[in-house]
Amino acid sequence: MKKSALISAALLFITILVGVLGTYSIMIALPLIGEEFHLNPVEQGAIMSVYFLGFAIFTIPGGIIADKRGSKQIIVISLVLWAILTALTGAVTSFAALLLVRFLMGFIDAPLMPAMLKAIAERTPANIRTTTLSVVSSAEPIGSGLAPFLVAPLIAVLGWQEATFITASVGLLLAPILLIFLPRPFVMEQSSSSVSKSKPIPFLSLLRNRYLWKLTGMLSGINIVMIGCMTWVPTYLTTEKHLAITESGLYASLPLLISMLGYLAGGWLYDRYFYQKFRTMVIPSILVSAIFLTLMILTDDVSLFMLFESISLFFLSLTTQPIIGLTMRLIPSDVMGTATGILLTGGKLASIFTPIAMGAFIQAYSFQAGFSLLLVGAGISFVSSILIHFKRSE
């Protein structure tokens, strides 16, 4: 791998890591926020859902902007605005203001991931692109796993507002580092699909790409499971199992750290063995994940709950990088921001409804009923993967 690709991967990894620490700190602090603003489970779920609403609205336009303005510029600007809004999150004094700031944060975050995927496509050779992506993307489960160790103690000692100020300051420090040291792109066009490699692909043509929509369906189902677990498992452990916030955070981090192994293994296996056997890899993984997700929902034992969740998220994470990797093989890098904007918008639309829908079921019935909605996500992902067929000519 070229030195510039290594530097790019390292800087993008750190950027995602900082962003996830900020996002997950809100999830850890959700019970405290609920107490401070006197919120019921539906309202607590809305704090997460409104973020994904803002994200979904601007992801496609953000991807188009990344294609036109360049990935580096969009990443730096988004990071600065993210830091400002993260600080504002800790400064709000009402539930309405918190919802507004969370919505704006999702709006600002939207162009960041398409820009990062475009940055990887532009700075990484095609034969290791999915592996590089899996390493960079592993910052998300790593950040989620580290958050209880780094953020939960800060919240416990200083308070959730002060923790957001510290996270925001890290983001502000990182922005100029990216501006100065993120290398120039060296890959302008890589694609193994039948799509024309010499002419830009119109936006409407991307919208008509049947593979892109099926992959979007897969990612939407995965997001339902991942976001549902990330949002409600810490609260479940705190309120239902009566664990301290630091202890519940540590328990909740284990499945997310294990899912990191799935991210890494999924990218490597796809690049190494399954780049022409997408369904062979993803369909069994989703089925195994659904089985252990069912066992997680049915058990009342905390240790077994965490074990089954860990196994389920590991196998589900095996499929995430092949989805992005197949997209990066099918779509040329000059429209990668737009294409991944479409892909991520579908994924985030599912994330909008998951926290609030689970909160409604938890409030009306039980946590078990709320977690049962996660099986809907696994089902959507499974059906979408079944529908992906490649002709020999493709």
Q: Find how far residue 147's CA is from the centre of its chain.
A: 15
Three-state secondary structure call for residue 133: helix
User: pLDDT digit string (tens) for 121-179?
Assistant: 788 777 777 678 778 877 877 877 777 778 878 888 888 888 889 989 999 999 999 99
The reported pLDDT for the residue numbered 382 is 95
> Exposed, middle or buried, 150 (CB in 10 Å: 0-12/13-18/19+)?
middle
Q: What is the mean pLDDT of residues 255-272?
A: 84
Q: Pick the residue with more confidence: 387 or 245?
A: 387
Longest distance between any two alpha carbons in the chain, whole Å = 60
Q: What is the DSSP letter of 393?
A: T
Residue-level pLDDT at 378: 95
Per-residue pLDDT tens digits for 32-72: 888 889 998 888 888 888 888 888 788 778 777 877 777 88
Q: How many CB atoms lie within 10 A of CB 186?
A: 13
Angle at 130 between CA 355 and CA 8, to 5 degrees: 90
Is residue 283 within 8 Å of residue 386, measured between CB atoms? yes
CA distance 239 to 161: 21
Rounding to the nearest 10 degrees, give the CA dihedral for residues 214, 215, 219, 220: -20
**Higher pLDDT among residues 27 and 334, named by residue:** 27
Q: How confident is the model at residue 197 (pLDDT cuts 50, 70, 90)?
A: very low
Using pLDDT thresholds of 50, 70 and 90, give the confidence band for residue 191. Answer: very low
Q: What are phi and psi of 130, to 5 degrees?
A: -70, -35
Chain segment 205-250, per-residue pLDDT in tens: 777 778 888 998 999 999 999 989 988 888 898 888 888 766 776 7
Please spell the DSSP secondary structure of 272-291, one letter per residue: IIITT-HHHHHHHHHHHHHH
Q: Does residue 204 have a pLDDT over 80?
A: no
Q: Report whether 129 contacts 270 (CB < 8 A).
A: no
Which pLDDT does position 203 carry in this prediction? 65
Phi, psi of 186 (to 5 degrees): -125, -10
Tell me which residue of 225, 194, 226 sits closest to 210, measured CA to CA: 194
- Give the list of residues 6+ apart from residue 294 with CB closer than 8 angstroms, or none: 375
- 312-354 pLDDT, tens digit per residue, is 999 999 998 888 878 877 777 667 667 777 787 777 777 788 8
pLDDT digits (tens, 9 = 90+) for 106-125: 888 888 877 887 788 788 77
Please give the Cα distance from 124 to 187 (Å, whole number): 7
The reported pLDDT for the residue numbered 333 is: 64
User: Any residues with CB less than 8 A from the CB of 259 and at least 6 apart, and which?
Assistant: 141, 226, 310, 313, 314, 316, 317
Structure tokens that stand for 78 in this block: 């988004």
Which comes out higher in pLDDT, residue 63 or 282? 282
Residue entry with tokens 């990668």:
336
DSSP-based three-state secondary structure for 387: coil
Please check the confidence at residue 379 and state whether its pLDDT lies above 90: yes
pLDDT for res 314: 95
Q: What is the DSSP letter of 240?
A: I
